[in-house]
Amino acid sequence: MQRELEILYIDDEVNNLVSFKANFRYDYAIHTASNTSEAETILHAHPDIRIIFCDQRMPDEMGIDFLHRIKKDFPKPIRILLTAYANMETVIDAVNKGHIFRFVRKPWMNEEIVSAIEEANKFYVANSMLEVKNQELQKAYDELDKFAYSVSHDLRDPLTGVLSAVKLGLEFDSIDRIHELLSLMDSSLVSLDAYIDSLRDYYLLRRGELMLSTINFEELFGNIRQFYSRYTQNKDVAFEISVDQKEIFSGDKALVELILHNLLSNAFKYQRKGQENQYVKLSVSVSERKAKIMVSDNGIGISPEYVEDIFKLFFRASDQAKGMGFGLYNVQNALLKLQGKIEVQSQPNQGTTFTVVIPSK
């Protein structure tokens, strides 16, 4: 059964329409039209039609002319011409003008129709896959253009800062002035290090296969708590962690860590300055072969007009902290690989909550 395979059959002879539908209605979704005007209406109403059979000799319009005319509006369906009078001129016109995939002579045999459908469907699927690959390639080219610009800009800024500080330092004798320049250099190098981490994550996502292992969230979150202790000790941000895992969870640990670190890094960086009782909360609940992870804070929040854009490459919704615009883009791509999903709830000057759901593999 191939009910999902939709076919349009166009013929001005009613007996042929009835016969075609009677013979193939159990195997395919058949639409019939007795003229080209009716056929166009059906094509508009059923965009998933993959194959068009059209009689060459129609009273209102020749089959080749019709197929040529609709190609711009309906480029995807594979076109098959039905004719009892195929001379060389018709063949040439059909190929050059109508972009016909195949001829079928009338009166047709069931076996020939089935063969034509199978070949046309294979060609349709191949074309669809090629179109998807072309779209992916175009997206890769667009990202590469943005990436090249970002690399030249974001690498040059911290390097320029370091080089300028070095040149000035060579002219100073004062230890205090030199310490001041070293502090500037440290800031620039931290930015550069963060950029390199973002590049690493970006290319980690280009890895072909998932590296699956059992993930113990209690252990993973313990390591994360230790990593972010510098924020909790130096900036008075409370870091609350909750783990509810009563079943085994399997996933790509590197990608899960990438997601967590990017979300937590933002939660700590975008706190409200001078705000009392600052917090970042991280929780996970594992059940029914899914991990539900929540990262929330009471920081600066995200303006409603930016919520739809935060997962775009190089997008930054705030200048409060230095960033490259890779983080949430990498998070979204990691979740695509893991077949997970993410939701965000945020209010300016109140905070943000990210909810991530990842299926166990």
pLDDT > 70? residue 187 = no
- Report which of 294, 298, 301, 297 is spatially closest to residue 342, judged by C-alpha positions: 294
Q: Mean pLDDT over all residues of the chain?
A: 83
pLDDT of residue 13: 92
Higher per-residue confidence, 200 vs 254: 254
Cβ(78)–Cβ(101) below 8 Å? yes
pLDDT in tens, 290-348: 999 999 999 999 888 888 888 887 655 555 445 555 778 889 988 999 999 999 999 99
pLDDT of residue 206: 63
Distance CA 64, CA 82 (A): 10
pLDDT in tens, 176-186: 777 777 776 76
Higher per-residue confidence, 302 vs 156: 302
- Report which of 311, 324, 313, 338 is spatially closest to residue 257, judged by C-alpha positions: 338
Q: Nearest 5 degrees, angle CA 324-CA 329-CA 332?
A: 155
pLDDT of residue 356: 97
pLDDT > 80? residue 65 = yes
CATH of 212-359, one of 3.30.43.10, 3.30.565.10, 3.30.2010.10, 3.90.10.10: 3.30.565.10
The CATH homologous superfamily for domain 6-108 is: Response regulator (3.40.50.2300)
**Global confidence as pTM:** 0.50
Among 247-251, 257-261, 275-279, 315-319, whose mean pLDDT is lowest? Answer: 315-319
pLDDT > 50? residue 139 = yes
Share of the chain above pLDDT 90, in %: 42
